[in-house]
Amino acid sequence: LPDPDAEPAAGRLIPEEARTVASWDRDLDALAGELRRAREAVREVPVPRTLSTSQLLRLAADPGGFARELARPMPRPPQPAARRGTRFHAWVESRFEELPLPLLGPEELPGGFDDEGAAGQEIADERDLAALKEAFDRTPYARRTPFRVEAPVQITLAGRVIRGRIDAVYRERGPDGDVFEIVDWKTGRSHSADPLQLAVYRLAWAEQTGVPLSSVTAAFLYVRSGEVVRPRNMPDRRALEDILLGGSGSDRDEDGGDGDSGDGNGGGDGDGHGGGDGDGDGHGHGPGTGDRRGAGEERADSGEGTRAADGGDAGP
């Protein structure tokens, strides 16, 4: 008979220890099952009645990811590039509106300085902002006077109110009336801005001002390179509502949206301003989304019921 007082052999558990380990295993299995069920659960997250343009872009590009943001919002780390973008937009606005340039302190800017490298970062920001200004001055838009800058717009699509702010609107006199061009500045390195943003701004401006949609064009100006991109066949109201309701909108593109020939001058380098659309712009447009660019782009370079499914990480 084994001696009850004898030490257990190496690697073997006494009955009491074995029972404890078995209890731990059961607890771990139960926790793993709960986690698996939570990850597999699909919850319906109501889409807010009012969306920013950036939220609409995220919803269209990644409904599941947007649902997770709504279900469990997380603070976004500050982006130094967003600070530069904010300052660039303020500079453009003051340039054309003849307003004094606002003196924004570090604490008022996205990604404000809060570490020992603040001085070096501020110097880098100043240099990059200067490069952006020089690059903008080489573009044709620097020599044109905008009809509006930082123009707020609002439109209702599929029962949702979409709000945004247009960087600049240019007006020209045409034989059949005024023709408007919506322009959005992009200061990042990436040239992957989502044309859906321009489509929303274009439709909102047309309906807000009462002009035909055909009299409104839209373009991205990639400030650093001077490249002007005018997406063609941008979606109209029906297509935008289809996108918002979960469709692709691909079969409802507006007819005849060829756009104008582009122009632009090269120049500029450095980092972009983050936290915004597509290329990471942070001027009130929010985080970037995927590239929705279609084949029909003109480039120029002289140099209730809508819900989103939450597919994972469901919380209690």
pLDDT in tens, 285-311: 333 333 444 435 555 543 333 444 444
The whole-number pLDDT of residue 95 equals: 87
Give the SS3 label for residue 223: coil
Using alpha carbons only, give the angle 9, 14, 16 rounded to the nearest 5 degrees.
170
Mean pLDDT of 186-209: 93
The whole-number pLDDT of residue 226 equals: 95
pLDDT in tens, 236-286: 999 999 888 875 554 444 433 333 333 333 333 333 333 333 344 444 433
The whole-number pLDDT of residue 180 equals: 97
For the chain, domain boundaries: 50-71+79-305
Find residue 228's DSSP bridge partners.
Answer: 221, 300
The more confident residue out of 95 and 181 is 181
pLDDT > 70: what percent of the chain? 62
Question: Among the CATH numbers 3.40.50, 3.90.320, 1.10.287, 1.10.357, which is that of 50-71+79-305?
Answer: 3.90.320
- Cα separations in angstroms, 101 against 95, 105, 130: 8, 12, 14
Residue 14 burial (CB count, 10 A): 11
Two structure tokens written together for 274 = 């983050």
Distance of CA 274 to the CA centre of its chain: 9
- Closest to 186 in 3D by CA, of 85, 110, 302: 85
The whole-number pLDDT of residue 138 equals: 95
- Closest to 82 in 3D by CA, of 298, 316, 288, 226: 288
For residue 262, what are the contacts with CB-CB under 8 A and spacing of at least 6?
Answer: 219, 228, 229, 230, 298, 299, 300, 301
The more confident residue out of 91 and 289 is 91
Kindly report the pTM of this predicted structure.
0.63
Cα–Cα distance, 215 to 168 (Å, whole number): 16
Of the candidate ranges 1-10, 133-142, 287-296, the one whose mean pLDDT is the lowest: 287-296
pLDDT in tens, 62-84: 888 888 887 777 776 666 677 77
Q: Position of tokens 């109201």? A: 237
pLDDT over 60 (residue 37): yes
